[in-house]
A and B are shown apart, each in its own frame.
Chain A
Amino acid sequence: MADTFTLGGKEFSSRFILGSGKYSMELIRAAVEQAEAQIITLAVRRTNTKENENILDYIPENVTLLPNTSGARNAKEAVRIARMAREIGCGDFVKVEIMRDSKYLLPDNQETILATKMLADEGFVVLPYMYPDLYAARALEEAGAAAIMPLAAPIGSNKGLATKEFIQILIDETDLPVIVDAGIGRPSQACEAMEMGAAAIMANTAIATAKDVPAMAEAFKNAIIAGRKGYLAGIGRVLERGASASDPLTGFLRD
């Protein structure tokens, strides 16, 4: 049986969600292809009439668009941005992102829960970016989220799984897919999150700030596949102390 996961009734075999910020449109296509990503995030901004380049022309057609609500400081603004994104006409997926803190860009869980409820009620497939808090995760589940997207570390920091223990709690204690978002800086960190049982990884800056963008996209793809396989295989136990030989303990030459 194929190992897939479902969001809003859509089945995905790729567990790599790619952000499209911070790099050129030409590289977006190459990165999506190398990543084999089936979901890509976009932002909504005021249109500049002088700019004729449309990012949608650089994204393969079979890829699901996940617009985010970046720039929203409260639930009301996030709902407005989500409605505009849907009106552009590329589906009803939305990543709710609400932050008032401009230094660490931490998500406001309270407002995120409110926006998730409003948007889920309007028929959106809502993926909220959140601070990894169990009560917030349960409230988001109740509000109708299709998955939760806890942060590994501050956005764009490439610092890795700083919130590892708390993400593990979310994976263990909620029924929603957990998509680890923000802060993942290296393939090994994406792999580790997948070994923990994450449903998928979202990455942008790690790819965009690499020397070779398409090659890093491919490296992440492979790391995510490896981590997922490791999780499904069941990670071996860790000894508290001592050692346990893997070689046979009989038949030594000196016997």
Chain B
Amino acid sequence: MVQINGKMEKASGVCLLDYLTQAGYNLVGIAVERNEEIVSKADYDKVFLEEGDVVEVVSFVGGGSR
């Protein structure tokens, strides 16, 4: 299992680019962090998710101060 944005998903062994595309993420305007390290956009197709990975997919939302 891989933890993605707080949810456990069966994504071990899946290419990050394939996962993001299939899950319906708009690749423009997002950033991905894997195990607290930034994954650069150019590497999405080279990264394969591993058992126990913790992934965050973020984008901008309206905000001033919390």
User: Which A residues fall within an 8 A CB radius of B?
Assistant: 19-23, 25, 28, 41-47, 49-50, 52, 54-56, 65, 67-68, 70-71, 80, 83-90, 97, 99, 105, 129, 155-156, 181-182, 202-205, 208
Contact = CB atoms under 8 A, between A and B. Distances in A.
Contact of B30 (A22, A55, A71, A88): A88
29 contacts: A19-B63, A19-B64, A19-B65, A20-B64, A21-B64, A41-B64, A42-B61, A44-B31, A44-B59, A44-B60, A45-B59, A45-B61, A46-B5, A47-B30, A54-B26, A55-B62, A68-B63, A70-B63, A70-B66, A80-B33, A85-B31, A85-B60, A87-B31, A88-B31, A89-B31, A97-B66, A129-B65, A182-B65, A204-B65
A46 B6 contact: yes
A60 B59 CA distance: 18
A28 B62 contact: yes
B25 A49 contact: yes
Interface in B22-39: 23-26, 28-33, 36, 38
A67 B60 CA distance: 8
B1 to A, nearest CB: 18
Interface residues of B, number: 27
Given A20-B64, A21-B64, A44-B58, 8 more contacts: A41-B65, A42-B63, A49-B25, A52-B26, A68-B63, A87-B40, A88-B30, A88-B31
The secondary structure that dominates the A interface is: mixed
Contacts of B59: 44-45, 47, 54, 88
A84 B26 contact: no
Nearest to A25: B62
Contacts of A71: 66
B41 interface: yes
B65 A87 contact: no
B53 interface: no
A42 B60 contact: yes
